Amino acid sequence: MFTNLTRSFHLSSSIHSTILKHTSSVRLSSSLSKIHELALSDPPDDPQNDEWNLNIAHLLTHHLNLPSNQFTKILNKSYPPSPSLNATSFFEDLEKLKNNEPIQYILGTWDFHILENILCESPVLIPRPETEELVELLLKDIHEGKECKVLDIGTGTGCIGLSVLCSLPNIKMYGVEPASAAYNLSSRNIAKFKNQFKPNSSYVKIYNCGISELEDIMSFDYIITNPPYIPSSDMKGLKLNVLDYEDHAALEGGQDGLKVINDIFEYVKKVRKLNGNVKVFGEGDVGHPEVLKGRVEGRVEGIKDFRGMERFFVVSYE
């Protein structure tokens, strides 16, 4: 049943009054429908926040203690027959959502690629669907069963490396992450998912430093990265739920967005002295793959994401 509905939520007085009016006199399913409608009717002020409907459905799914695969049913307003919702907690989280806190941080977990409920905490960069495409590009290139060593630069939550380890056997994963918060969170995620690693796959080590500071040079077969790549002048145009909560150092890539990417390819030069056939998979801003064609050694291939924007780059040296 719904509890604590009479608490004075930090919502508009009109919505609070409407909640009190309806939840005391209608059936549970109708009450849930009413709460859903009320939440949808009070979006945040940020005009760029175009995901309100989706976020409300995620929030309801979470507070109804339903598995994440029930999200679509809630989005379509198909509710369980005997819903149980703590309305106090729901509306407290709704207020966070209205203040542009990302849904991933409110829930504390998110699904990414093959991973269910990877831990997410501010200010560590939130795993995004485009990065799932980057993971798929790498997985398709690795012959299943092949033993290989992979370096993930800019580990963040650990979502990239963990997705690879949970998908393929015989992978030795290394990570590089300069931010202490991200380093600690990725370590917790490794502990959470290590029992799901494929046979003979392991997360060997995460280096708590930037790539330009990494002294260990190893013969990696693959390097994969979702580095900071947003040009400094574009930062102010980001959504408030990004600007106010995510680590700017994990987003901003300098004047042209290529500062960290340039450092990565300086490291690649060192790796190539040990393995000349290392292959690099990366994510950047629109136009970066074309710029890299004239800047780095090797063959650069630009690949479009699901929105049709050429943002991925694959650099091979065969």
pLDDT class of 232 with cuts at 50, 70, 90:
very high
Terminus-to-terminus CA distance in the chain, angstroms? Answer: 63
Residue 311: phi and psi, rounded to 5, are: -125, -20
pLDDT of residue 55: 93
Query: Which range (64-68, 156-160, 173-177, 190-194) has the least confidence?
Result: 64-68
Predicted pLDDT at 20: 44
Residue 162's φ and ψ, nearest 5 degrees, are -65, -35
Q: Report how far residue 161's alpha carbon sits from residue 278's, in angstroms, rounded to the nearest whole number.
A: 17
pLDDT tens digits, one per residue of 192-209: 999 999 999 999 999 999
pLDDT given for residue 48 in this prediction: 60
102-148 residue pLDDT tens: 999 999 999 999 999 999 999 999 999 999 999 999 999 998 788 99
Pair 168, 196: CB distance under 8 Å? no
Tally the C-alpha atoms within 13 A of residue 109's C-alpha that lie toward its C-beta: 12
Q: Is 311 helix (H, G, I), strand (E, B) or coil?
A: strand
According to the model, what pLDDT value does residue 28 have? Answer: 53
Stretch 76-94: mean pLDDT = 86
In the chain, the percentage of residues whose pLDDT exceeds 70 is 89
Q: Please say if the pLDDT value at position 9 is more than 50.
A: no
Residue ranges of domains in the chain, CATH in brackets: 13-99 (no CATH), 124-316 (3.40.50.150)
Does residue 68 surpass a pLDDT of 90? no
Query: Has residue 311 got a pLDDT over 50?
Result: yes
Please give the sequence-ordered ranges of beta strands (E in DSSP) within the chain, or none if there are none. Answer: 109-112, 115-119, 148-153, 171-176, 202-207, 222-225, 279-283, 299-304, 310-316
What's the pTM? 0.88
**Quick check: helix, strand or coil at residue 251?**
coil
